[in-house]
Copies of this chain bind each other. A is one copy, B any other.
Amino acid sequence: MKWLLCFFIGLIVSLIGFFNNLAVENIAGLKFVVTSNMMLARRFGMAFLVFSVSNLILTLFASIITAFIAPAAAGSGIPEVKAYLNGVDAPGIFSLRTLIVKIIGSISAVSSSLFVGKAGPMVHTGACVAALLGQGGSKRFRLTWRWLCFFKNDRDRRDLVTCGSAAGIAAGFRAPVGGVLFALEEMASWWRSVLLWRSFFTTAVVAIVLRALIDFCLSGKCGLFGKGGLIMFDVYSASVTYHLTDVPPALALGVIGGIFGSLFNFLLDKVLRIYNLINEKGIVYKISLACAISVSTSCLLFGLPWLASCQPCPSDASESCPTIGRSGNFKKFQCPPGHYNDLASLIFNTNDDAVRNLFSKNTNSEFQYSSILIFFVTCFFLTIFSCGIVAPVGLFVPVIVTGASYGRFVGMLVGSHSSLNHGLYAVLGAASFLGGSMRMTVSLCVIILELTNNLLLLPLIMLVLLISKTVADAFNGNIFDLIMKAKGFPYLETHVEPYMRQLTVGDVVTGPLQVFQGIEKVGNIVHVLRTTRHNGFPVIDEPPLSESPVLYGLILRANLIELLKKKAFMSATVPTSIDALKLFPAGDFAERGSGNGDRIEELRFTEEEMGMFLDLHPFTNASPYTVVETMSLAKALILFRDVGLRHLMVMPKISGVRTSVPSVSFFKILPVD
Contacts and interface: CB of A to CB of B under 8 A. Distances in A.
A192 interface: yes
A631 B244 CA distance: 59
A176 B462 contact: yes
Contact of A446 (B177, B623, B626): B177
Contact of A238 (B238, B494, B548, B550): B238
A165 B531 CA distance: 54
A377 interface: no
A382 B269 CA distance: 62
Q: Output the residue of A193, A238, A445 with the most chain B CB within 10 A.
A: A193
Given A215-B244, A628-B623, A654-B548, A453 B450 contact: no
Contact of A656 (B215, B551, B638, B656): B656
Contacts of A442: 177, 180-181, 196, 200
Contact of A449 (B196, B455, B627, B628): B455
A459 B211 contact: yes
A626 B655 CA distance: 15
A508 interface: no
23 contacts: A177-B445, A185-B193, A200-B462, A200-B466, A207-B459, A210-B459, A236-B238, A446-B446, A454-B455, A547-B657, A551-B628, A551-B653, A623-B627, A623-B631, A623-B635, A625-B627, A625-B635, A626-B626, A638-B643, A642-B643, A655-B656, A656-B657, A657-B657
A204 to B, nearest CB: 4
Q: Which residue among A208, A212, A456, A658 has the maximum number of chain B CB atoms within 10 Å of its CB?
A: A208
Contacts of A215: 243-244
A33 to B, nearest CB: 28
Q: How large is the interface on A (under 10, 10 to 19, 20 to 34, 35 or more residues)?
A: 35 or more
A632 interface: yes
A584 interface: no
Given A446-B446, A623-B631, 11 more contacts: A177-B462, A185-B196, A197-B469, A207-B458, A207-B462, A215-B243, A504-B623, A548-B657, A626-B627, A639-B639, A643-B643
Interface string A617-642: 00000110111101110010011001
Contacts of A658: 547
A458 B450 contact: yes
B463 A208 contact: yes
A192 B494 contact: yes
A65 to B, nearest CB: 34
Contacts of A196: 185, 441-442
Given A630-B622, A655-B656, A458 B177 contact: yes
Interface string A187-225: 000011100110011011001101110010000000000
A103 to B, nearest CB: 24
A504 B623 CA distance: 10
A546 interface: yes
A70 B211 CA distance: 51
Contacts of A623: 504, 627-628, 630-632, 635
A176 B212 CA distance: 30
A199 to B, nearest CB: 9
Interface string A453-473: 111101100110010010000
A403 to B, nearest CB: 19
A176 B459 contact: yes
Interface in A502-532: 504
Contacts of A631: 623
A622 B450 CA distance: 50
A30 B449 CA distance: 37
A191 B191 contact: yes
A243 B211 CA distance: 9
A514 to B, nearest CB: 21
A466 to B, nearest CB: 6
Given A215-B243, A654-B550, A654-B656, A441 B635 contact: no
Interface in A224-241: 236, 238
B635 A459 contact: no
Interface string A168-189: 0000000011001100010000
A628 B626 contact: yes
A466 B632 CA distance: 43
A628 B62 CA distance: 55
Nearest to A494: B193
A204 B459 CA distance: 6
Contacts of A628: 551, 623, 626
